[in-house]
Each structure stands twice: as structure tokens, then as C-alpha cells.
Amino acid sequence: MPLLDLKKDYHVHSNYNDHSPQELSIENVTIRAEKINLNTLAFAEHVRRTSEWIPRYLEEIDRMVSSGTKITIISGFEAKILKDGTVDFPVEYEGHFLIASFHSKYNNKQDWFSALKSAITLPYVKVIGHLAPEESFDLTDDELLELSQLLKTNRKTVEINAKYQRPPMKWLRVFKDNKIDFHLGSDAHNLSEVGNFNSITNLIEYINS
């Protein structure tokens, strides 16, 4: 299992969503990433099947890739896991990097777990983002083992998320024991959060130990 690399941020947002500041442009994020010596930057903007801005977003990222930056820039998306186990994502962009994550509370463990397991089997989902249980439930040891085996079989990466400090340490122990792949995501919604993993030092140290 490869060590977590603090010079790689696989979950950064931009001003293509409706809740980040305008200064969070593709260009400004890239400049910030260069300044703090990142070598890999994945844009993962919130997307829906109905999103109309995607061509402009991808074109802007392509311009930055062609600008001569030394950073590896990945064009991607973050999509919501839906109750039926699909993700709210336009399938014509399946070739791009895709994080699937929960953005709604189900208040029902069975529905939540079923949706997660289904999303993990989708071939175009690359990463499961900010994974953690809801406040009203947790997974048993057997369920965590089942989840680990499903992640492994479907070759999914589990994101270590700085914004929400997830997954929980209990889950990480099981995932690590079962040799699940991890990577870091700041989940940045402003420039100061890009590449900032200070909130999850304990999780990083555990995985890299």
C-alpha cells in the first residue's frame, strides 16, 4: 500500500459551484498549488446530471494544463450518491476522474449501506469521498469487513478528507488491514484550504506508519 503523499491533493473545488468565492478560479487554485509546491492537483467540482457548465469548466482546466505549469492537473468531479445506488452524474463524462460521496442524510442504515455498496460497483466511480456513518448509526465489524472487501474487489480508493476529517479511525484500521488504497483530499472551498492537511495529521500518521 503506497504512503500518502502530502504534495498531492485529489479533491479541490472551484468557483464553478454556487457556494465558493469567485477568487477560487481554476487559475488561482493552480497558482496556489504551485506556491505550496504541490505536484498533483485534482479538480473535483460538484456536478449533477443537469449541470450545463461542464464544457466551460473542462476547457478552462485544459488551458491551465497547456499553460506550462509543472503540476499534474486532473479534471474531475464530485457527484452525490443517490438512494437508488446511482450517482448524480452525466454519464457522457465517464472518462473523467470521479469522486462519489454522500451529501444527504438518509437516517436509515439499510438504505445508506445499500446505496454505498451499489455506488462502489459503478466502474466509472474512482474514489469514495469523505466516507463516514451518519450520527444515528455505525457499521459493525462484519459490515466494515464486507465494505472493505467490496472496495478492494472494485479497486476503489478511499479519500482521507481534510475538511470533514474522515473516515473515522475505527474504519481506517479495518481498511488498512485489508490493504485498501487511500489518497488525500483537502476538499478545498477556498484558496487557503488547497493542499492543507493539518486537520488530519493523526490519520495521515496512522496510515503511513
Over the stretch 120-166, which tens digit does the pLDDT of each residue have?
999 999 999 999 999 999 999 999 999 999 999 999 999 999 999 99
Place of cell 487559475: 27
**Model confidence band, residue 19 (pLDDT cutoffs 50, 70, 90):** confident
Q: In whole angstroms, what separates CA 204 from the centre of its chain?
A: 16
The answer to whether residue 17 scores a pLDDT higher than 90 is: no
List of residues 6+ apart from 186 with CB closer than 8 A: 9, 11, 12, 162, 163, 193, 194, 195, 196, 197
Mean pLDDT on 90-119: 96
- pLDDT tens, residue by residue, 58-101: 999 999 999 989 999 999 999 999 999 999 999 999 999 999 99
DSSP 123-144: TT--EE-S----TT----HHHH
- 53 contacts 16 by C-beta, under 8 angstroms: yes
Which residue, chain included where needed, has cell 485544459? 62
CATH architecture under which domain 8-208 falls: Alpha-Beta Barrel (3.20)
pLDDT in tens, 191-208: 999 999 999 999 999 999
d(CA 209, CA 50): 43
Residue 21 pLDDT exceeds 90: no
Where b means 16+ CB within 10 Å and e means fewer, 49-81 reads: eebeebeebbebbeebeeeeeebebbbbbbbbb
As beta bridge partners, residue 158 has 128, 182
Peptide bond into 55 cis (omega under 30): no
Distance CA 134, CA 72 (A): 34
- pLDDT band at 2, cuts 50/70/90? confident
Coil vs helix vs strand at 64: helix
143's CB contacts (< 8 A; 6+ apart) are: 113
Contact call for residues 131 and 165 (beta carbons, < 8 A): no
Alpha helices in the chain (DSSP H): 26-35, 54-65, 109-120, 141-153, 169-177, 201-208
